[in-house]
Amino acid sequence: MAFEGLTTRLQNVFGKLRGKGKLSEDDVNEAMREVRLALLEADVNFKVVKDFIAKVKEKAVGAEVQKSFTPGMVVVDIVHKELIELMGGSQAKLAKSNRPPTIVLMAGLQGAGKTTLTGKLAKLLQSQNHKPLLVAGDIYRPAAIKQLEVLGGQIGVPVFSLGDKVSPVEIAKQGVQLAKEQGNDYVLIDTAGRLQIDEALMEEIKQIHAAVKPDEVLLVVDAMTGQEAVNVAKSFHEQLELTGVVLTKLDGDTRGGAALSVKAVTGCPIKFASTGEKIDQLEAFHPDRMASRILGMGDMLSLIEKAQSNIDAEKAKDLERKMRTAEFTFDDFLEQMEQVRKLGPLDQLLDMMPGMNKIKGNPNFKIDEKQIARTEAIVKSMTKAEKQKPDIINYSRRKRIAAGSGTSLAEVNRLLKQFEDMKKMMKQFTGMMGPKGKGPKGG
Ligand code: GDP
């Protein structure tokens, strides 16, 4: 995930400040010097860093810090607030036209993730009860039309295409017309990418713009390209009035500087962040939550939202009841693992929890998605009866399960032992909670 390096560095800086009962001007200056270096190293634009530090310093040397009993915390709070401001303050939402359909035009370099985003955004809109229409306006990249059709097919959203012989301007116009006739309330127009800022293509997208007058022009930029992403955004903004930016590939190993500079340099808000190749890996960009994540304070709000939209509440309640009554079987165990996996890659989930970045930094701590798949394979190789009553699994069955799941006898043994331990713990816990699990014994 992006920002890991920055988070660690900032936490070191603030760790030093926190212990102090009083902060001298020198302490603040020293801390700001380190914050400055951390931001530069994270590839944040030089000028952006300079302004940022100046603002934080101005507030940090103010009276509040001197008076406070916990001056370090006050400094962290100032940095937090300034980071939020830097990324645009409040969340910038997708446009919604009073006279539907709302027309969204995608722009960006080739490979930035435009076509993928078009599909993702359609899925997001669909989940909010909108009826999007996708328009295949990238007639130059050989597979783009097909790619969009496949994405649309996956989520059951119609895709309008006229092949690659008709001009994109005409395709866009007819697409919008069709949306009006069919009652689609959003039209998402995919356009041709550029390897770099290319005049002919830029001219074309301007013509599409003039023809359909979009309510939203989203520039899709690859966060992995660092400073280049900011330059791209700047030149597009000069040519085409952008209304928002979408950062893609934030799941990658980016240093994160782009996310922190784009708004400041272009004035254009970041509206979404794309965090993976899968169609549901798109998040609304919340500057406040991102700032918390950068400072290692976690992002519990996003985590809770994810849980609410992905976890089946009935099933969760049932699992909780089974745990309390220690009726928990391997079937439930599988179910529980599936529920958690629906939330996304574990690695990304941990990033949302406060302080987890420190644990992740520990070389002894490894999240191994493959290990989870192996555990699942083992459970799936058990018979129905065995899942209900693991005690009946004898030595020869253990060997069979290991062979059936492509794992080893040792792994099967380990899992069975862990499961037993877990059940024992649940029993103890249930005992403490009293027979009905309603409260502590005697209480
Ligand atoms: P386009 O040329 O701008 O339309 O780019 P595509 O939508 O074809 O995306 C280019 C590549 O980037 C594809 O392989 C996508 O799967 C991948 N991609 C898009 N968004 C993301 C993202 O958020 N994270 C990762 N890891 N890959 C992405």
The predicted complex's ipTM stands at: 0.98
Task: Evaluate whether residue 303 is within a structural domain.
Answer: no
In a domain, 407, yes or no: yes
How many domains, the chain? Answer: 3
Closest protein CA for atom 20 of ligand 1: 113
Taken in order 271, 274, 279, 281, the sign of the CA dihedral is negative
Does 440 fall in a domain? Answer: no
* Residue 214 phi, psi (nearest 5): -65, 150
Same domain, residue pair 232 and 327: no
Give the ligand 1 atom nearest the CA of 112: 3
CATH number of the domain where residue 353 is located: 1.10.260.30
Distance CA 169, CA 191 (A): 10
Instruction: Please check whether residue 199 lies inside any domain of the structure.
Output: yes
* Nearest residue by C-alpha to atom 9 in ligand 1: 113
Which domain covers residue 341, as residue numbers? 311-432
Summarize the annotated binding site for GTP as residue ranges.
108-115, 190-194, 248-251
Tell me which of 35, 57, 86 is where a domain ends: 86
Kindly state whether residues 82 and 106 are assigned to the same domain. Answer: no
Q: Are both 256 and 334 inside the same structural domain? A: no
Calculate how far, in angstroms, residue 291's C-alpha sits from the geometric centre of ligand 1: 25
Ligand 1 centre and the CA of 48: distance in Å? 28
Is 316 within a domain? Answer: yes
Residues 80 and 120 placed together within one structural domain of the fold: no
Take atom 12 of ligand 1 and give the residue whose Cα is closest.
Answer: 113
Q: Which atom of ligand 1 is nearest to the CA of 141?
A: 2
Shared domain for 127 and 273, answered yes or no, is yes
Dihedral, 125, 126, 127, 128 alpha carbons, nearest 10: 60
* Tens of pLDDT, residue by residue, the chain (443 residues): 667 788 888 888 888 877 777 778 888 888 899 999 999 988 888 899 999 999 998 888 765 666 666 777 788 888 989 999 999 999 999 999 999 999 999 999 999 999 999 999 999 999 999 999 999 999 998 899 999 999 999 999 999 999 999 999 999 999 999 999 999 999 999 999 877 778 888 899 999 999 999 999 999 999 888 888 888 898 899 988 899 999 999 887 777 888 889 999 889 999 999 999 999 999 999 999 888 888 877 666 676 667 767 777 777 777 777 776 777 888 888 887 777 777 777 777 777 666 666 666 666 666 677 778 888 899 999 999 999 889 899 999 999 999 999 999 999 999 999 888 877 777 666 555 544 444 444 33
Q: What's residue 330's pLDDT?
A: 87
User: Are 318 and 230 members of one domain?
Assistant: no
Q: Classify residue 203: in a domain, yes or no.
A: yes
- Confidence (pLDDT) at 432: 56
Same domain, 69 and 147: no
Closest-CA residue, ligand 1 atom 28, reads 277
| Domain final residue, candidates 29, 52, 86 | 86
Instruction: Pull the structure tokens for residue 325.
Output: 């009554």
- Contact residues of ligand 1, CB 6 A cut-off: 108, 110-116, 193, 248-249, 251-252, 274-277
Say if residue 281 is in the same domain as residue 145.
yes
- Do 177 and 82 lie in one domain? The reply is no
Give the CATH number of the domain where residue 240 resides. 3.40.50.300
| Domain harbouring 46, CATH code | 1.20.120.140
Please tell me the distance between residue 439's alpha carbon and the centre of ligand 1 in angstroms: 51
* 145 C-alpha to ligand 1 centroid (Å): 15
Question: What distance in Å separates the CA atoms of residue 338 and residue 360, rounded to the nearest whole number?
Answer: 22
Q: Which of 261, 265, 214 is nearest to 238 (CA)?
A: 265
Residue that terminates a domain, selected from 86, 111, 132? 86
In a domain, 92, yes or no: no
Query: Does residue 275 sit in the same domain as residue 365?
Result: no
Would you say residue 236 lies in a domain? yes
Are 202 and 118 found together in one domain? Answer: yes
pLDDT of residue 141: 86
Closest of 112, 93, 84 to residue 232, by C-alpha: 112
How high is the pLDDT of residue 63? 54
Shared domain check, 111 and 222: yes
Q: For residue 249, report the distance from its CA to the centre of ligand 1, in Å.
A: 7
Using alpha carbons, select from 89, 72, 88 the residue that is nearest to residue 11.
72
